[in-house]
Amino acid sequence: MSKLISVGCPASLKLSGIVVKHQFLLLGVLAMLLGCSTDSGDTYNAEIRWTGYGIPHVKAEDWGSLGYGFAYATANDGICVFAREVARANGTLSADFGASDENLASDTFHRAIVTPEMVRTSAAAMSENMRMYHAGFVAGYNRFIEDNLQSLPAACAGQKWVRLIDELELGRMFIAFGIRYGVGRFNTGIAAAAPPGEPVASVQLDYDMTPGIGSNAIALGSELTQSGKGILFGNPHYPWHGPARFHMIHTTIPGEIDTMGASLLSGSFIAIGFNEDVAWTHTVSTALRMTLFELELNPENPMQYRYGDDYRDIEVIEVSVPLADGDSRQTVYLTHLGPVLVSDELPWTQTRAYAARDAILNNNAAFATYEALHTAASVADVEAAISKQGVYFVNTIAADREGNAFYADISATPHLDMDILGNCRREVRGLPAQIVVLDGSSPECDWRDDPRSAVPGNLPADDMPRATSRRYFSNSNDSYWLSNPDEPLEGYLPTIGPERTARTLRTRAGLVFLNEHLQRGSKLRPDDIQSLLLSHRHFGAELLLDDVLSVCEDNDEIAKSCDVLREWDRTASIDSRGMQVWTEFWESARRIDGIYAIPFDPADPVNTPRGIAVDNQAVRDAVREALTAAQQRLQDAGIELDKPWGDVQFAERNGTRIPVPGGPGRHGMFSYINTDFTDGKGYTPIVHGNSYIQVVTWGEDGKPDARGILTYSQSPEADSPHYYDQTELYARGEWLQLPFTEEEILADPNLKTLILRGN
């Protein structure tokens, strides 16, 4: 039974409230906070109501109080993750976690690049609502620490790096996260840069700007839906661990904003979600985010670079990085084109150096964009919101209550016209093709400034692809071109993405599965869209397995693998047997030269390439070798070839294995899960893949009908009651009916409430 207790107020806060079963503070106890001021002088007044599976619904009368409650609710599930991200973005990893080379490079980069001046400029671009919201967020986060410092999760209990923050630190966090998959990937090379003659260790950079992250999305319009209203399917494939985890949350200011969805666990607003009129989601886009510039140095002074007819000085930036036992002075070098970086492929010599420019680094439009997005009432409003250019590296897919579907890639992209792309490219041996290197000596090769763009140097929103329809759009991280194969989008700059090129197996899977439903002639319901994922069909195997089995004849060496594959149901469901054999086989076989019998045809991009070229003896032999290698790898790792998929792909939670359906997207899985491989166990831990999944439409009464799941659950903390509860649901193929209306929230049998007041 719950009981009534009294709790004193934090010395620095005035507060009063009623708490019911709060997760870390007074767990399982009904508490009334007594003896605290309840006068009208309280700056913040928020109500947080938790429904089943730990979903917080934050309600307030003003933007400051909304931020206050949002931060408190987020910290309740992710305080350790958020606090660590504060340390990363503010350059204190070395002091807080030890002075490794990796931490020192990160600290040096963030202290030199994400400056207080940059944060102040970003804050100046905020609306008054957003300024109040972020001040409230800081106060709410600090309030949580004050309330819970003695009862933090085990992962950060007693750690000095869980500390109060200010608005500068929150602002640095936001900017640092935005560039994490751009110039932030090069922090080691930027921190290591030094003029010729100074010692530089070997630097290996990771040039994959979006390592493993992606998404699926479908928007349906009224011509295809049974209700005549839009349906949105959102299925981002974000990390299962760390600051980019999603966190389900609902925010309300009566009469002004009522938006539910998911924020990033280290974020400060909902990134993907819905309201009473519109639903939206994002998928990582193919557009360019940054370029390198090759600098022509003054032969008499390698600290100067030519720009036009003049030489400019390379600026020396010294920063102090705190360590556990003092400070370390570090140096970063800047040009007007961006920071200088080095790697084994990009040395700083007497005549040449390289700088990196990021399209997101000085983009201050995100707060205006998402404020407008949260209050959008139609897909036209969504288009207007993202045209403010504050969407960083993703496509936007949306549907509305009136039956409109929408797709756009309006994201932060350098403005490089065809003259630049044709005349200014520089080849650097050892760099992947997706890294664009430009001539940094010519002003004609610099990013174009266009008065139509809200962000200097960025491509104007008007020049980026978008479309509205009453039929459908789909995106699975390929470019805009085939968002609807019946009406391809064409004629855009190649920096946004390729046209008339082969699509991935995952993109084709989504299009094929959707069109199978459409060809049946009946209009679609939300259940039909859910089934696209919940069937866990393996499109790659459906397309190719029969041809692969044709090489199995009279070969005893691979007989067992062939027998398993012959009986496999060609899904990645947890009870499926044989998925592991195909997974190991195709990871190798997909690299076989000339493997497809029918090559890609731009006139039939959904159905090509297809078939295995088994009539080609070299391909046939290579397929047999790949099967042999797959069988051997599994046997060497102690993985039975016909063991149920859920027994070999799983998440471990407090000593319990939870089976996880799905598989690699690059192999043709629409239900995408990517893992590490552990000998003796299998495909675990889960790295990224299906995460916050939502299917949203509207009922006859006009109210949102939203169902969803957060595959890895609300909290990453092992001592949280919401560490794996939704993960178990996901394993069983169950989703939540998301409680959005007041009636739905109040009817939840697990309702817990916190009334939070303070200054």
| pLDDT averaged over 10-residue windows placed end to end, the chain, 759 residues | 29 36 35 37 93 98 98 98 98 97 97 97 97 98 97 97 97 95 93 90 80 89 98 97 97 98 96 98 97 97 97 98 95 98 95 97 96 98 98 98 98 98 95 94 98 97 98 98 98 98 98 96 96 97 97 85 97 98 98 98 98 97 96 97 98 97 97 97 97 97 97 98 98 97 97 96
pLDDT for res 338: 97
Q: Which two tokens stand for residue 649?
A: 């792909």
pLDDT for res 34: 28
CB 204 within 8 A of CB 105: no
> Nearest CA to 702 among 336, 260, 400?
400
**Alpha carbon distance 380, 378 (integer Å):** 5
Classify domain 533-688 by CATH architecture: Orthogonal Bundle (1.10)
**Alpha carbon distance 58, 70 (integer Å):** 6
Q: Provide DSSP, 262-286.
A: EEETT-SSEEEEE-SSEEEEEEE--
Q: Which two tokens stand for residue 455?
A: 């962000």
Q: What are phi and psi of 728, to 5 degrees?
A: -65, -40
Sign of the Cα torsion 427, 431, 434, 440 reads negative
Question: Which of helix, strand or coil describes residue 305?
Answer: strand
> Nearest CA to 57 among 751, 610, 749?
751
> Nearest CA to 269 among 463, 406, 74?
74
pLDDT for res 50: 98
CB 237 within 8 A of CB 687: no
Which amino acid would we find at residue 57?
H
Bridge pairing between strands 650-653 and 692-698: unpaired
CB 22 within 8 A of CB 28: no
CB-based contacts of 742, cutoff 8 Å, min separation 6:
none
Residues annotated catalytic, as ranges: 215
CB 539 within 8 A of CB 521: no
Domain residue ranges in the chain? 17-192, 533-688
Residue with tokens 């002004």: 256
> Nearest CA to 736 among 746, 725, 720?
725
Partners of 125 in beta bridges: none
Torsion of CA 318, 320, 323, 326, to 10 degrees: 110
pLDDT for res 2: 26
**Alpha carbon distance 245, 268 (integer Å):** 13
Question: Which of helix, strand or coil describes residue 527?
Answer: helix
Partners of 293 in beta bridges: 355, 438
Q: Which two tokens stand for residue 331?
A: 């140096």
pLDDT for res 198: 84
Which amino acid would we find at residue 105?
A
Sign of the Cα torsion 23, 27, 31, 35 reads negative
Q: Which two tokens stand for residue 354?
A: 């390289």
CB count within 10 Å of CB 593 equals 9
What is the separation of C-alpha 353 from the centre of its chain, rounded to a whole number of angstroms? Answer: 32
CB-count burial class (<10 Å; 0-12, 13-18, 19+) for 43: middle
> Nearest CA to 373 among 362, 359, 389?
389
**Alpha carbon distance 669, 216 (integer Å):** 11
Q: Which helix (H) or strand (E) segment is 511 a member of?
A: helix 505-519
pLDDT for res 401: 98
* Same CATH fold assignment for domains 17-192 and 533-688: no
- Bin 460: left if φ > 0, else alpha if -120 < ψ < 50, else beta: beta
- Max Cα distance, the chain (Å): 85
What are the angstrom distances between the C-alpha of 288 and each of 292, 427, 662? Answer: 11, 17, 29
| CATH code for the domain defined by 17-192 | 1.10.439.10
